[in-house]
Structure 1
């Protein structure tokens, strides 16, 4: 088969994204029983979804699904792609009020087990403890490179009036079509960072807010993603989960007249970590030396105490004498973390057995997953970038919105051009000017695709350290790993595989590539595919492998 023909075979008639939905329970999938009360029912959700055209295009499924795809549902056409999703239903289904640490571990394990097989993930969850689960998963999921969205509803999805339909559809679209490598919460047409969210209203469809940062994305007439706000891992390591969370943690809310006996009892062994919820900007009584002494003694023997505010919005500071007194007693400033984030972060950090106590205190002060605000050292505006400003003037653009659209149009091409020449300095300027290094050009190609194809190892390292995902596909379904294989760049293949990259090429296309390489004695290509994790024994349509071809043409 000529090379041009083989390249065309990598096109899909209608590109697909796959999403795994983990259904843990919650109001969203409940039905009304004979007494008019909501209750969970096994296998009810999937069977009902199949009857709703918004959630399943039956005609497309019958015409295009393969035998091994019969358990999938598929959304109607969205932005040039189809979102296929499969629902994994837990047994028994849980009310979120019953959610425990071992349930977080089960969700994390399932995410890890299926991570390489899906483009994104949705967790259907009750609303009462959703913020706790989202915060916990954000820490448990290390080196995350794909989108995980938690959602639910205030009214079951099959009621005449329900927020569940929009929440679930929005989550599927965002998980399938957008690469936001965070644990997120989707509610009321907003995408919130999971470890920044709290349940704020028990009687409103706007149940969740992220009080100290704006939403990551808003779903209005257009979907608007604040790409500059997306938190990305800086490690070039594979995705993994950490499940053994420390259970000896708790929340202690200060109130006027709290007794010394209450505080002492709370800090007794086996307690290892405490989130102290104080007044205002982190204040507690400083005229009670006995109270401060108990905190200091507990801190000295290894209890990690984190100070966060009782207020919904705002952060802890040491501007007041009362706040400074806590700091002097060894209490760590928790900044603007939510109670859910502070508690689960404490549980995560304390469970790291290889970290010393000094390291654990250090990591509690550090922003690990975007859970706390770090004041930027410099504030670089996009308007300071001369090229964009010059082009805007030449085109007579005046408004900020017009300039932002120009930036979104130009930056992907500029980044790809910089990656082609291995110009890391130019990429850094673009990043610091507000550019999203994961943005793609008109062909769907990112700077990582280009750098991988061209063989620029330092540029690939830089982009991975900036959190650019190895899982992004261009319009032809090509990933950066496939580009590196085609370029025969062994060092880059190793880097990408270490970061969790997987070959997504179809088996029949892979077999043709391998057979062509074997026929032309192209050992480097065969080695590249092998190092990328390809099965060199895959068969073509004639049940022939590369070894068959190599023996014939030897």
Structure 2
């Protein structure tokens, strides 16, 4: 069972004037990471889910031996993730005089606490990697992990530089949830010269349902071994899903050679440039989907679910003709090379996107997006296009921004989220959609709710009370004088206001019992963002899973 250390810990102010407040959750007993199982992954995932709305992000301290497996598994289990989950650990125990644990822990805390990177990540030796892209490559170096086919998401040197173009975002309006159902009838099989058909046959026998086959080079196998190919074909015909991944550290699987095509003809699915850890975790996750048939599972294995494989893209589109405004600016500065154009684009995008959002120009936003612009970046006040859309009550703009990965957890320099803006300007439909997506008030805002509700009672503002209720405020929260909104309404001789509040409370109770919600009228599909965080207990040689960090 996890033990929560009740007193929060405070980090010193960062360069961005943010202070990280974090809470520690320590598991008992602590595990060497070599002893980790899918049950432990599920326990970590459920603890994140349980604490999701209380923190802006989560840091998991974990031993290095199986950290890549845990990072990959959690990336698939965490569905519609909108906040950073960062795994880290150390090669040398943190209690040793010379160790890498302190730097790794502090780096993970700073990144999880200051940036909205809605991914399961792994931080090690000054680099932040996508969790399902890493593999451990060195047992005797501080630089123990690498991401062979994807550049780091961030590098921490004098400053922390985030590669925002690489950050994966869930394009959804569905709330975060953790799927702990994993199929354990999966395995890794590595081809080697002289492997026998009997060995392959034995490995593929029931109850085996999914196999990652590590092949040569760009996904090649022997095309002169009919006995071997026959066993693979029998297995795929019987419903075993076999994923073709390369044994090479870098590179991808292709069918350019005949020795690669024979494996596809035998029913193998191309694994692209997935690591074996990611392919195995993905197989386990997909095979556990009881509502999918075999063909749907095979199709899902070929899809890029969490950025675990490289899509076939020609690169970001960008030219002088993409934007008349940028064209004029570039010409005035005598700029024409791609790198300088991109720098101008990135500098102008936040202001242009916010301006387009204010007037509801979805077409302009689409143009900026096609240019490779990141529409999640904030302007000089830290306000993102989603903040502007929420302020203006432009539901279509909110819907569009959510479907391209805008985060509901972004905070401007005043600490306000898009939900706060929608509540302030009383846009009920926007509040409903943001709540459906998983938006919620921060701890500070919830603490303020009691006094705000009491002010609304005094002024008899029923619309304001309803908006705050829809946004998730606790209507029983006392104000500064200790009175709840209902108590104040009765004391102030406003029985109609008290009745209205009681009706809102009853509606919430009825909703909870019926399993319905106020947001069912929307069918859109996705999105998320990021915000507080988590830590684990002090790192040891093989530290343990989870810890919360707050902000």
Show the counterpart of 1:173. 110
Q: Which runs of 5+ in 1 are unaligned?
A: 1-21, 24-41, 47-68
Asked if 1:509 is matched to 2:443, the reply is no
Q: Out of 374, 391, 405, which is 1:453 matched to? A: 391
Q: Please, which moves more after superposition, 386-395 or 465-474? A: 386-395
Work out whether residues 73 and 86 of structure 1, in 8 Å CA contact, stay in contact via their aligned partners in 2. Answer: no
Mapping 1:184-263, distance limit 5 Å: 184-263=121-200
How big is the alpha-carbon RMSD for the aligned residues of Structure 1 and Structure 2? 2.1
Number of equivalences: 491
Show the counterpart of 1:423. 361
Q: Out of 54, 63, 68, which is 1:131 matched to? A: 68
Q: Out of 406, 409, 432, which is 1:468 matched to? A: 406
Please give the alpha-carbon distance, in whole angstroms, between the structure 2 residues aligned to 1:250 and 1:133. 16
Show the counterpart of 1:98. 35
Asked if 1:288 is matched to 2:202, the reply is no
Work out whether residues 211 and 313 of structure 1, in 8 Å CA contact, stay in contact via their aligned partners in 2. Answer: yes
Asked if 1:409 is matched to 2:353, the reply is no
In the superposition, the TM-score normalised over structure 2's length comes to 0.85
Q: Out of 446, 451, 467, which is 1:528 matched to? A: 467
Q: Please, which moves more after superposition, 324-333 or 514-523? A: 514-523
Judged with a 3 Å threshold, the aligned counterparts in structure 2 of structure 1 residues 343 and 508 are, in CA distance, closer, same or farther, namely closer
Q: Which runs of 5+ in 2 are unaligned?
A: 495-551
Show the counterpart of 1:83. 20
Asked if 1:496 is matched to 2:431, the reply is no
Q: CA deviation at 1:500?
A: 0.9
Q: CA deviation at 1:394?
A: 2.5
Q: Please, which moves more after superposition, 345-354 or 215-224? A: 215-224
Deviations 1:481-501 (A, max 9, x none): 111112222221111111111
Deviations 1:284-313 (A, max 9, x none): 111122211111111111100000000000
Work out whether residues 192 and 210 of structure 1, in 8 Å CA contact, stay in contact via their aligned partners in 2. Answer: yes
Q: Out of 238, 251, 274, which is 1:337 matched to? A: 274
Show the counterpart of 1:439. 377
Q: Which has the higher contact order (CA 8 A, sep 6+)?
A: 2
Deviations 1:296-341 (A, max 9, x none): 1111111000000000000100111111111011100000000000
Work out whether residues 307 and 331 of structure 1, in 8 Å CA contact, stay in contact via their aligned partners in 2. Answer: yes
Q: CA deviation at 1:268?
A: 0.3
Deviations 1:327-382 (A, max 9, x none): 01110000000000000000000001011111100000000000001112664026
- Where 2:29 maps in the other structure, the secondary structure is strand
Work out whether residues 382 and 434 of structure 1, in 8 Å CA contact, stay in contact via their aligned partners in 2. Answer: no
Show the counterpart of 2:86. 149
Work out whether residues 356 and 362 of structure 2, in 8 Å CA contact, stay in contact via their aligned partners in 1. Answer: yes
Q: CA deviation at 1:548?
A: 4.2
In the superposition, the TM-score normalised over structure 1's length comes to 0.85
Work out whether residues 7 and 23 of structure 2, in 8 Å CA contact, stay in contact via their aligned partners in 1. Answer: no
Q: Please, which moves more after superposition, 225-234 or 518-527? A: 518-527
Work out whether residues 147 and 175 of structure 1, in 8 Å CA contact, stay in contact via their aligned partners in 2. Answer: yes
Q: CA deviation at 1:396?
A: 5.4
